[in-house]
C-alpha cells in the first residue's frame, strides 16, 4: 500500500484540489495553524488558500473549522 509520500506531483495536485473547498470562511486561521504540512496560507483579506502541492488530504483543517467552510471531497 502506498502512502501519500509516494504520490506523484500530479496525484498530489489532484488530491489537494479535491480534499478541501473553501465555502464560507471568517478568517479565524484555525485551519492554517493546524495543517501539518503548512499547505494553507491566507491572503490579505484572511481568505484561505490551499497549496495543492503540499496537501496530504488528512482532513484536520476540516475538523477544526468552526463554521463548516471546508469539506472533504472524493478524488476526481
Where on the chain is the footprint of ligand SF4 (CB under 6 A)?
A: 19-20, 22, 25-31, 35, 37, 39-40, 48, 50, 55-61, 64-65, 67, 69-70
Which helix (H) or strand (E) segment holds residue 9: the answer is: helix 9-19
Q: What is the SS3 assignment for 35? A: coil
Q: How far is CA 3 from the centre of its chain?
A: 17
Q: How far is the CB of 2 from ligand SF4 (least distance, A)?
A: 17
**Residue whose CB is less far from ligand SF4, 1 or 51:** 51
The Cα 74–Cα 76 span in angstroms is: 6
**Residue whose CB is less far from ligand SF4, 1 or 45:** 45
Total residue count of the chain as it appears in this document: 76
Q: How far is the CB of 63 from ligand SF4 (least distance, A)?
A: 8
Amino acid at each position: 500500500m502506498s502512502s501519500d509520500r509516494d504520490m506523484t506531483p500530479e496525484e498530489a495536485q489532484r488530491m489537494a484540489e479535491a480534499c478541501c473547498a473553501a465555502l464560507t470562511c471568517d478568517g479565524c486561521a484555525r485551519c492554517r495553524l493546524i495543517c501539518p504540512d503548512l499547505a494553507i496560507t491566507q491572503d490579505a483579506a484572511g481568505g484561505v488558500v490551499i497549496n495543492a502541492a503540499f496537501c496530504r488530504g488528512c482532513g484536520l483543517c476540516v475538523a477544526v473549522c468552526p463554521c463548516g467552510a471546508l469539506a472533504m471531497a472524493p478524488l476526481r
